[in-house]
Amino acid sequence: MIKNLISLYLLVNLVYSQGAWAWNNRTHPELKWNTIKTENFNIHFHDGIYDIAIDGANIAEKIRPTLMKQVGLDSLRRLDIIFTSEDEIANGFATAANYTVIWVDQNNEAIELIDNKWLEHVLAHELQHLVFFNVTKSWLPFPMNTLYGRAPLWFIEGLAEYYTEKWRPYRFDISHKYHVLKNSVHKIKDPHNDGFSKVLYFTDRFGDETLIEILNHRDTLKLLSFSKAFNKHTGITVKQFEEDWRRQMNTYFFGLRSQKEAYNDIGKVYSLPMRYVYGFDWFKGDTTKIIMVGRKNDKQQDLSLILAVRDTSKEKEIYKKTLEKKKNIKPKKIRPIWNLEELDYGGIGKDVKASPDGNNIVYSKYGYSKNQSLTWDIHLIELESKDKKRLTHSKRANNACWSPDSRKIAFVSHKNSTSNLFSLSIEDNISIESITNYSGDVQIVTPAWSPDGGKIAYGLSKENGNMDIVVFDLDRKESIRITTDKQADYRPVWHPKGDKITYTSHKDMTPNFHTVNINTKQSSQNTNIGDAVWTVGWNYDNSAITGLTLGDVDSARIVNIDPNRVANVNDVMLNPHYSSWRDKRPDYPIPNLDSIPDIIDTLESEDYSFEKNIKHLGTVILPDVTGLFYNGAYGDVTGRHIFSSFVFSDWEKVYGGFGYLNATGKPIGGFWGFNYYKDIFFEERIYNQNNDYLIEFYNGLELFGY
């Protein structure tokens, strides 16, 4: 019985996580779904994103042969891809039912991708998962084959990262640095992170061919047991491999760090008045205030917008009492006393900005908008009254910055993978004016208004995926690209004279400060930190650039850096035995897709039919001498029609039922369905003082809606 209940629990959770609606519990009945078909794929999408669907179809057909070759797969069935922009969710997922759901139209993820675009990046990753499901399938149905094989999540995600992506600062390198310093690299929670480095280390040590041997191994039952296959083809256990990997990561990252500058080398280090800080801003001319985005403690799940105000009067009082107590012996410096006030909480964006006049705060917040879609929008708080105002509605807007006169903000808004800059008057937030007019697959991040108000600098990622600093002249309506590094350049900070910009660059795989002269375009590196440091803003009290450091200690540290400083840059020398894993590439890498002509220009779409796209989601069947348990589920690829059935039998009687869930939002605007039960749901009814009871069964048809 316990096994049956566990299996039922696993499958029910599996079934109810198959649709895009499961992420926000909204059905979006306003969307009309369509289908286009290529040689090897069915592409399903809703109205408004046809061009993205065509781009995705070309990408899928181009990378399919390489994905198969990487794992030694000779044939691959027709696959289904679902594209949606109903919510602003930077994710995708693949299922063993041979379909993947992908959220398109992203902006800020461009910082992470180096020379790639979101659609190609996420589609290749999720299709590799589908290839994995096919190369590891057996006669045992899903999820029973998965429960038997027990391949760890790090292996599944690491394969997709290794075969389709490049090692890069965000998500991978920075995460490892943090956990190595915390002595917790073996406790990385996201299997994408440690999975990538583990598979890199594995293939560098054992080769790609060993990966293929493990994936195609079958035991005497013709099933894949991951631990047995791993041991057979490597000669070591998974546990021993993970310990070897842990030592390798610690050796590499500590060795790298020892040859880089320390925070104390590059400037004066301070601690912010809150432990977990992910973004902050100074108030110009007022050192007694800081606005921060972070968590108040390690148990907090969302983020808080915190105003910190320094209590200088209390500091003076303590200083005076200490001075009197020590009889005029000058005491040590009194530690700053801060009062923290939570102004807002929830899905708060990390790029918060205080207006130059110190009266307002502008930030982005994640929440429900038109048609209950989850999107980012710009919000404002008036500090004196603490009044809150939502400045944009359903704009997918973020990355706001202030004009020097505090009367306007500029922000980024995007639609169908095209981002542009817009401005909005704080006094009249009705009219939104367009600043830029980009088209195509373009993303903009971290804009900053120049001190004279005539220009805006920002990070720009165009079709090639490379993000550089661009300066846009508001009068001429022209932009000038002022950095050219292959890694991401973003977070520009203007110098007061307006002739230079200090920015964050991922050059050499680590966020560091660089400064560029916007007239000559000559740049210099200001820091060569081994951990990470990000530009935040100009500190007028110290004529320095303030940076936020890696949060690996018991306080959130910031550092003030001389903008004229020149970093001490030397070649890093490491024993290849400990460093070669970082340069490992697949034997069959994903080709440069731009070099392969598109085979699809246009395709005729047809109305989506759920009846034609029903897939087997999973089956659990457990027979033994005492009885039989069966639980099975089917659903369409959008996850909006789900059918399930379950049966118990003691070989004499049969108990069970079946059900249907409709997640289309039609005709009642929410979820509805029905269940039929036979002798499985019951209630104990006590009928006397001795607590004797009778069992009442609830059989028949149940209708529900919510």
Question: Per residue in 76-105, pLDDT tens?
Answer: 999 999 999 999 999 999 999 999 999 999
Whether the predicted pLDDT of 169 surpasses 50: yes
> Which helix or strand (DSSP H or E) is residue 57 part of?
helix 50-71
Higher pLDDT, 625 or 374: 374
| pLDDT of the residue at 25 | 82
Cα–Cα distance list, 330 to 313, 337, 489, 641 (Å): 18, 19, 47, 75
Joined together, the tokens standing for residue 350 give 């990390």
Do 597 and 620 have their domain in common? no
Instruction: Flag whether pLDDT at 1 surpasses 80.
Output: no
The answer to whether 525 and 569 are in contact (CB under 8 A) is: yes
Q: What is the pLDDT of residue 6?
A: 44
C-alpha triplet 285, 286, 288: angle, nearest 5°: 160
The Cα-based distances of 296 to 188, 208, 342, 349, 648 in angstroms read 22, 45, 9, 16, 49
Cis peptide before 667 (omega within 30 of 0): yes
Question: What band does 333 get if pLDDT is binned at 50, 70 and 90?
Answer: confident
User: 345-358: buried (b, 16+ CB within 10 Å) or exposed (e) per residue?
Assistant: eeebbbbbbbbbeb
Q: In terms of domains, do 248 and 204 share one?
A: yes
Is 451 inside any structural domain? yes
Strand partners, 423: 410, 433
User: What value does the mean pLDDT take over residues 145-151?
Assistant: 94
Coil, strand or helix at 227? helix
pLDDT of residue 328: 64
Residue 4 has pLDDT above 70, yes or no: no
Token pair recorded at residue 303: 């983020």
Residue 322's pLDDT is 78
Tokens read off for 508: 């050499």
More confident residue, 600 or 427: 600
Domain span at residue 216? 34-259+578-603
Measured distance CA(504)–CA(533) in Å, rounded: 8
pLDDT band at 126 (very low <50, low <70, confident <90, very high): very high
- Classify residue 298: in a domain, yes or no: no
Within this chain, do residues 590 and 677 fall inside the same structural domain, yes or no? no
Q: What are the tens digits of pLDDT across the range 341-372?
A: 999 999 999 999 999 999 999 999 999 999 89
Structure tokens at 2: 């316990």
Evaluate whether 84 touches 104 at the Cβ level (below 8 Å). yes
Q: Are residues 225 and 169 in the same domain?
A: yes
Does residue 24 lie in a domain region? Answer: no
Dihedral over alpha carbons 563, 565, 570, 571 (to 10 degrees): 10
Averaged pLDDT for residues 570-596? 95
Tokens linked to 358:
């110190």
Compute the 3-state secondary structure of the chain and give helix, strand, coil in percent, each to the nearest 5.
25, 35, 40
Higher-confidence residue of 518 and 623: namely: 518
Where does the pLDDT of residue 10 fall: very low under 50, low under 70, confident under 90, or very high at 90 and above?
Answer: very low
Average pLDDT over residues 47-66: 97
**pLDDT for the residue numbered 5:** 44
Mean pLDDT of 635-662: 91
Asked whether residue 514 falls in the same domain as residue 599, the answer is no
Give the total number of structural domains in the chain: 3
Query: Is residue 90 domain-shared with residue 205, that is, in the same domain?
Result: yes
**Averaged confidence pLDDT in the chain:** 92
Cβ of 273: how many Cβ atoms within 10 Å? Answer: 20
Please compute Rg for the chain using Cα positions. Answer: 29
- Cα–Cα distance, 281 to 289 (Å, whole number): 9
Residue 27 lies in a domain: no
Rounded to an integer, the average pLDDT of 163-168 is: 94
Say whether pLDDT at 62 is over 90.
yes
Does residue 20 fall inside a structural domain?
no
Quickly state the pLDDT bin for 21 (edges 50, 70, 90): confident
Give the CATH number for residue 212. Answer: 1.10.390
What integer pLDDT is reported at residue 670 of this predicted model? 86
Decide if pLDDT at 14 tops 70.
no
pLDDT given for residue 540 in this prediction: 84
Q: Any idea which residue has 């890694």 for tokens?
A: 487
Residue 193 and residue 166 share a domain? yes
Are 86 and 28 spatial neighbours (Cβ–Cβ below 8 Å)? yes
Residue 3: is its pLDDT beyond 70? no
In a domain, 199, yes or no: yes
Q: What is the CATH number of the domain that holds 537?
A: 2.120.10.30
Q: Are residues 520 and 592 part of one domain? A: no
652 located within any domain = yes
Sort strands 523-525 and 533-539 into parallel, antiparallel or unpaired.
unpaired
- pLDDT tens-digit map of 432-462: 999 999 999 999 999 999 999 999 999 999 9
Alpha-carbon gap, residue 497 to 499, rounded angstroms = 6
Q: How confident is the model at residue 668 (pLDDT cuts 50, 70, 90)?
A: confident
Q: Given a cut of 50, is residue 9 above it in pLDDT?
A: no
Do 255 and 273 lie in a common domain?
A: no
Among the ranges given (411-420, 529-538, 558-567, 675-684), the one the predictor scored with the smallest mean pLDDT: 675-684
Cis link prior to 331 (omega < 30° from 0)? no
pLDDT at 331: 64
pLDDT at 582 over 90: yes
Residue-by-residue DSSP string for 170-208: IIIIHHHHHHHHTT-GGG-S-HHHHHHHHHHHHHHHH-H
Query: Is 492 in the same domain as 617?
Result: no
Which tokens is 463 given? 């079709």
For 191, the token pair is: 């299997």
pTM score above 0.95: no
What digits encode the pLDDT tens for the residues 182-233? 999 999 999 999 999 999 999 999 999 999 999 999 999 999 999 999 999 9
Instruction: Say what the pLDDT of residue 327 is.
Output: 66
Taking 90 as the threshold, does the pLDDT of residue 26 lie above it? no
CA separation for the pair 585, 14 (Å, rounded): 34
pLDDT of residue 18: 65
**Same-domain status, 637 and 518:** no
Percent of all residues in the chain with a pLDDT value above 90, rounded to a whole number? 78
pLDDT exceeds cutoff 80 at 510: yes
Q: Which two tokens stand for residue 255?
A: 């060795």
| Closest to 512 (Cα-Cα) out of 489, 529, 498 | 529
Pairing, β 606-607 against β 557-561: unpaired
Residue 8 lies in a domain: no
Residues 160 and 199 reside in one and the same domain: yes
For residues 616-643, give the mean pLDDT: 90
